[in-house]
Amino acid sequence: MILSDLKIYLRDNGRASLPAMARHFEADAEVLRGMLDVWVRKGTVRLCPPDGHCDGCTACHTRCDAVYEWAAAQPAGHG
């Protein structure tokens, strides 16, 4: 997996939790977090506070993990 795969996934899905992306890409969450940090620094992706629930995996017992959201401006004709 490369950065562009992660970018495409978030662009297409709008937002996703770190555990959901780790499952999708079959990758370590901390590796993904490092990759996502690149996009966060560029302003393409935004780290959002969890909204009290995850996307239904029931894997987190005490808290929800990071939620990332596509933040780049949509090109004309999209969105």
CATH number of 29's domain? 1.10.10
Output the pTM of the full model.
0.72
Question: For residue range 7-63, what is the model confidence (pLDDT) as tens digits?
Answer: 899 999 998 999 999 999 999 999 999 999 998 999 999 998 755 555 555 555 444
- Position 61 scores a pLDDT of 45
Task: Specify whether the CB–CB gap between 18 and 60 falls below 8 A.
Answer: no
Query: Does residue 23 sit within a domain?
Result: yes
Rounded to an integer, what distance in angstroms lies between the CA atom of residue 68 and that of residue 14? 9
Query: Does residue 76 sit within a domain?
Result: no
Query: Does residue 59 sit within a domain?
Result: yes
Query: Does residue 34 sit within a domain?
Result: yes
> Dihedral through CA 46, CA 32, CA 19, CA 69, nearest 10?
20
pLDDT band at 64 (very low <50, low <70, confident <90, very high): low
Query: Does residue 77 sit within a domain?
Result: no
Query: Does residue 79 sit within a domain?
Result: no
The domain tally of the chain equals 1
Whole domain around residue 30: which residue ranges?
A: 3-70
User: 5: phi > 0 → left, psi -120 to 50 → alpha, else beta; which?
Assistant: alpha
- Position 5 scores a pLDDT of 92
